[in-house]
Chain A
Amino acid sequence: MVRVVRVERSTGSIDRTRERGTMPWPLGIPAAVAVFFLLVPLVAMLVRAPWSGLTRILANSTVLDALRLSLLSASAATVASFVLGVPLAWMLARARWRGLSVLRALVTLPLVLPPVVGGVALLLAFGRNGVVGKAIYDWTGFALPFTTWGVVVAETFVAMPFLVVTVEGAFRAADQGFEEAAATLGASRMTIFRRVTLPLIGPSLVAGSVLCWARALGEFGATITFAGNNPDTQTMPIAVYLANESDTDAAIALSLVLLLVSVVVLVALRDRWLRQGPAL
């Protein structure tokens, strides 16, 4: 049996009619609850924000230091992730070794690993008595934990997989016909990689880097575990957490800054995420 549905055929309204028609109404209620749940905290923050004292709070030197440290360390972590992660992504996408899928699972584990666990693991590896850290300390007298370098290491550990996963997908999807064409034109493998492969996946490199940077900027668990909380290692998220204990207004003000950064990132990646269909 065929059910006949009347559809408004006047120009322009067809799409709207279809959209309304495809949504089964019982889904509407949980969907509305979800929207409410996701938006209310953000609205609450905007409502409760100490707008009049905002500049005074943000001009505070501790806040500025935390902001500067966050921006610098997240940027450093992104550079490190790019330099190490792009070649790794290429290897995961193109090499044909046995066991590569296991390796892929292992190196992307930090995507799902609780960051605090990552921090503990980093301490066991690069701490003064860590598996690798002890050798470094014995040799150079330098230990990573509780230094600004430690912040960068913790952020890189957590954020790099985001870049790797994004870029690997792009390497996989890239048309290798262009690389073959470059080879027949006399380009060496490195030239092909530099002048053909990388430019072709440019948008994904940008997206992966932005994603990685945003993740590094918001990093809390691994950073506080591995780098602790001292003037050299107090990033914005840690500052927010600590301020929230004593000075709510300061916590809100700092949070607003991070919210602003998030919005900027979202706008930067809008083509990737605000488009319909699967991302990454």
Chain B
Amino acid sequence: MSGAFVRTTTSPTVLRVDALVRRGEFDLDVGFDVQPGEVLGVLGPNGAGKSTLLRALAGLTPLTAGSIRLGDVVLDDTATDTFVPPADRPVGLVFQNYRLFPHLDVLDNVAFAPRSQGVPRAEARARATELLARFDLTELAARRPSQVSGGQAQRVALARALAATPLLLLLDEPLSALDARTRLDVRTQLRHHLADFPGPVLIVTHDPLEAMVLADRLLVIEEGRVVQSGPPGEVARRPATQYVARLVGLNLWRGRLGSDQRVVLADGGALVVAPADGLAAGDPVLVGLRPSAVTVSTERPEHGSARNVWPGRITGLELLADRVRVQVDGAPSTLVDITAAAVADLSLAAGQRIWLAAKATETDAYPDRPPASTGSAG
């Protein structure tokens, strides 16, 4: 590997976070670990505390309580009154809007970190030139940030952060400033570049696809708390909250398992679910159901095989790429995906009363439990 990572290969550094940050009414209270080389996707709605978490890790916002450790180094610990200021942390942060210095050209932006560490100008520029080459930015060296495209700026920002030879890399919504077409290319490149980074990586995002593609593991944060953590596939298959379910396009209901595989739902209604291991009557459960597994009819289906049949009223129709998502108000309220042809044949419209049906085997019932804390302290 090239020189940029020399320092980072000396010892594997685990990031251990047990952080409380209070900001007025809001508080962020999270605990988790990230292994060297692991990419942790931090997913959550706006205002969940994702950016606050990155700021705390970078030292831009001190912890109210708790600690942040990177390998053997304590970056912040309120118990021992330790606080390493941002400039002294081996932490690279790629900001959401990149924050490239507008008065410096691309080369000097990337050379900024080595220069700040006291490296002579010529040597800092040589190091920056090497990084630019790795990121395919050599031709842009003399340009100002205002003269490069969004995707290029993203790479410059990453190169600039890596020029400081960080042990921990943080990316705040790395692709949100890009248009949809560049996003795809940049996402692929970013994944490639992150694979080379030997330390822990955190990527904050509210785009589930970005999180799925880039991250090895997901940490879902809502209202300052970790609500779910696990491999992206697992989170997508069995979301723990309504927010994640919406992101991955699943119906999700909370309820309690009764006898005969019947789940009484908290927000009204009941569903018969497929038998699942490790569930007993009386357990709190989550029930997931794919919108495409629900069928719609305009009259009550009399002779169907579906165990679940319930009435509802259409509140909205939304055209997706190859189907129509129908929002249905009922017990339970449900998202249903059907073809545009079906919408036409049944002449469905908002306000209309319809019947929904779903097989028990299409449902997925799993335990509803608070997320297991992976943090170092409880």
Identify the A interface with B (CB < 8 A): 177-178, 180-189, 191, 195-196, 199-200, 202
Contacts and interface: CB of A to CB of B under 8 A. Distances in A.
Interface stretch (B90-98, B187-195, B204-212): B90-98
A242 to B, nearest CB: 47
Contacts of A185: 87, 112-113, 116, 160-161, 163-164
A185 B103 CA distance: 16
* Binding site secondary structure of chain A: helix
A5 B163 CA distance: 62
Contacts of A183: 59-60, 85-87
A182 B95 contact: no
B233 interface: no
A143 B213 CA distance: 75
Contacts of B47: none
Contacts of A178: 99, 101-102
A181 B95 contact: yes
Nearest to A175: B99
Contacts, number: 66
Given A182-B116, A200-B102, A202-B103, A187 B95 contact: no
Given A180-B60, A180-B86, A181-B95, A187 B103 contact: no
Contacts of B85: 183
B9 to A, nearest CB: 19
Contact of A182 (B58, B97, B102, B112): B112
A191 B116 contact: yes
A195 B112 CA distance: 9
A184 B91 contact: yes
Contacts of A181: 93, 95, 99, 101
Contacts of B88: 186
Contacts of A196: 101
Size bracket, chain B contacts = 20 to 34
B147 interface: no
B86 to A, nearest CB: 4
B99 A186 contact: no
16 contacts: A177-B97, A178-B102, A180-B99, A181-B95, A185-B113, A185-B161, A185-B163, A186-B88, A186-B113, A186-B116, A187-B112, A188-B116, A189-B87, A191-B116, A195-B116, A199-B101
A187 B99 contact: no
Given A184-B161, A184-B164, A186-B88, 12 more contacts: A180-B95, A180-B99, A181-B95, A183-B86, A183-B87, A184-B92, A185-B161, A186-B87, A187-B113, A188-B116, A189-B87, A200-B103
B93 A187 contact: no
A184 B116 contact: no
**Which of B89, B103, B117 has most chain A Cβ within 10 Å?**
B103
Contacts of A187: 87, 112-113, 116
Nearest to A188: B87
Contacts of A200: 101-103
A96 to B, nearest CB: 16
Contact of B117 (A180, A186, A195, A202): A186
Given A200-B102, A202-B103, A184 B117 contact: no
B112 A184 contact: no
**Which of B85, B102, B115, B116 has most chain A Cβ within 10 Å?**
B116
B116 A177 contact: no
Contacts of B113: 185-187
B134 to A, nearest CB: 18
Interface string B100-133: 0111100000001101110000000000000000
A200 B86 CA distance: 21
Contacts of B91: 184
B117 A199 contact: no
Nearest to B91: A184
Contacts of A188: 87, 116
Contacts of B103: 199-200, 202
Q: Which 4 A-B pairs have the closest CB atoms?
A: A187-B116, A181-B99, A183-B86, A185-B113
A183 B112 CA distance: 11
Contacts of A202: 103
A135 B84 CA distance: 46
A185 B93 CA distance: 8
Nearest to A196: B101
Contacts of B163: 185
A237 B269 CA distance: 90
Interface string B6-29: 000000000000000000000000
Contact of B164 (A180, A186, A191, A199): A186
Interface in B274-290: none
Contacts of B102: 178, 200
Contacts of A199: 101, 103-104
Contacts of B112: 182, 185, 187, 195
A232 B99 CA distance: 52
A196 B160 CA distance: 15
Nearest to A198: B103
A188 to B, nearest CB: 6
B111 to A, nearest CB: 10
Nearest to B89: A184
A59 to B, nearest CB: 44
A177 B95 contact: yes
Nearest to A186: B116
Contacts of B160: 185
A176 to B, nearest CB: 10
Nearest to A177: B99
A182 B161 CA distance: 10
Interface in B40-73: 58-60
A186 B163 CA distance: 10
B349 to A, nearest CB: 38
B126 to A, nearest CB: 17
Contact of B93 (A184, A189, A195): A184
